[in-house]
Amino acid sequence: MESHMGYGINKLIVEFFTTGHHPVFVQYVVNYLINNTDNTQYIFLLNEKYKPLYNELRIQNVKFEFVKQIEVDKLNGASVFRKSLNFSNYVHNYALKNNVSDVILLDMNIFQLGLIFKTKILYRGIIFSQFFRQDKSKSLKNRIRFFKRYTLIKLLVRNRFIKNIYFLNDNNGVQDANNLLKTNKLISISDPVEEFDPSIITELRTVYQIPTDHKIFLHYGSMDYRKGSLLILQALLDINDQLYNNVTLIYAGKSNKPQLNQDIVNCINELSKKGLNIVFINDYIDKSLTQSLFTVADYCLCPYSSTEASSGCVGLSIASNTIIIGPEEGLLGEIIKESGIGIVIQDIDKMKLTKLFIELFSKQKPSLISKIDIKSRSPYVFAKELLK
């Protein structure tokens, strides 16, 4: 680990991971501190992949330290329990050594087990999958899974050194969970919705030679089975070739699962042979390209099988007034319906998705306007809540 320490530190902000929401949340907190420094001293403990972005940045009362990827890899134990102990012990020892009084985990998920008995330092952080949103009625496996996660959160909130646990976009669920656990440590925080910057947006119809009369369907972010990344393509394969005439599909993002990547490539090749116009961006998507994609897209495809948590695609869709397609159930379904720009499907499967595609391909895009006030969900509000 490279050190940039020069004085006592009060608050430590930790992020070891570099995909999906992780770099975005780091950026929001850094941007907040650029314009809102106080007498508190902060240190960011980050994966070394963030070094090109922040190593030369100078902010009053803020320091950056970087953990080598090889060290992060060593912390990944063989079991979830061992991994959680490794990560939490690493951060705890670092905090003690550097006189830290308050640790903020931008992703608390992997730390939970290891934090149950930690003392001397206050901890808070974001958990992205809420136990109280999990379906516990369908099977014994689900009930056991619910009980494990409920017990884990219960043990965490009983530790007086756990200051707060944040969940994204779930006021009702958090209130119910606080009542159940007899605590006020669980807090709902808005997943940030960033206003788009016209100066960084590119006209992608020109870049990718997409005809002006084409409806554009976007599937964005890290690809995964639970996000319907393969299901979308399988549903499209069941559609008559002639219905592809005025449609473009954009797949933007990568998967860390080699088999899924290969299955996606195979399906895209099949669809291309059938005549569907496809843009496949199998790479990391930066801020400029992200905003350009949502600006040009008519629909954002989020047929997630896991509905317990929110999705960053919702905020991006709200900011761009892109119609979002997702599940009716769970927190994600609630948020999509609340947004006013969503189409929800109950118990999503391939057949229902195919039917919806056929319907949307053949009719004009509906005129929907978001009901969400994005100023109240700004990155500024998000970072201020985390740091207070």
For 83-101, the pLDDT digits (tens) are 999 999 999 999 999 999 9
Of 185, 254, 244, residue with least CA distance to 216? 244
CA 207, CA 345: separation in Å to the nearest integer?
Answer: 32
Report pLDDT digits (tens) over 153-162. 999 999 999 9
CA 222, CA 131: separation in Å to the nearest integer?
Answer: 23
Neighbours of 94 (CB within 10 A): 18
Is the pLDDT confidence value at 321 over 80? yes
The rounded mean pLDDT for the chain is: 91
Report pLDDT digits (tens) over 118-140. 999 999 999 987 666 666 566 78
The pLDDT value recorded for residue 2 is 44
- Distance of alpha carbon 147 from the chain centroid: 24
Is the separation of the CB atoms in 36 and 127 below 8 Å? no
The pLDDT value recorded for residue 145 is 79
CA 76, CA 110: separation in Å to the nearest integer?
Answer: 10
pTM: 0.82
**Banded model confidence at residue 14, pLDDT cuts 50, 70, 90:** very high
CA 24, CA 18: separation in Å to the nearest integer?
Answer: 9
**Banded model confidence at residue 255, pLDDT cuts 50, 70, 90:** confident
> What is the per-residue DSSP string for 130-178?
-GGGS--SS-HHHHHHHHHHHHHHHHHHHSTTEEEEEEET-HHHHHHHH
385 class by beta-carbon count within 10 Å (0-12 exposed, 13-18 middle, 19+ buried): middle
Six-digit token string for 24: 């975005």
The side-by-side arrangement of strands in the sheet containing 122-126 is 62-67, 42-47, 11-15, 102-105, 122-126, 162-168, 186-189
CA 249, CA 280: separation in Å to the nearest integer?
Answer: 8
Neighbours of 206 (CB within 10 A): 10
The pLDDT value recorded for residue 376 is 83
147 compared with 2, residue with greater pLDDT? 147
The pLDDT value recorded for residue 141 is 79
Q: Is 241 left (phi over 0), alpha (psi -120 to 50) or beta?
A: alpha
Beta bridge partners of 15: 46
The pLDDT value recorded for residue 134 is 66
The pLDDT value recorded for residue 326 is 95
Of 112, 106, 108, 45, residue with least CA distance to 72? 45
Six-digit token string for 49: 């992949």
32 compared with 331, residue with greater pLDDT? 32
**Banded model confidence at residue 3, pLDDT cuts 50, 70, 90:** very low
Report pLDDT digits (tens) over 284-319. 888 899 999 999 999 999 999 877 767 889 889 999
> What is the per-residue DSSP string for 284-313?
---HHHHHHHHHH-SEEE---S--SS--HH
Q: What angle do CA 6, 9, 13 make, to 5 degrees?
A: 115
**Banded model confidence at residue 368, pLDDT cuts 50, 70, 90:** confident
Can you list the domains of the chain with their CATH numbers?
11-193+377-387 (3.40.50.2000), 198-371 (3.40.50.2000)
> What is the per-residue DSSP string for 203-237?
-HHHHTT--TT-EEEEEESS--GGGTHHHHHHHHH
Is the separation of the CB atoms in 93 and 272 below 8 Å? no
The pLDDT value recorded for residue 8 is 45
| Amino acid symbol at 229 | S
What are the helix (H) ranges across 51-139?
51-54, 69-75, 80-97, 112-115
**Banded model confidence at residue 6, pLDDT cuts 50, 70, 90:** very low
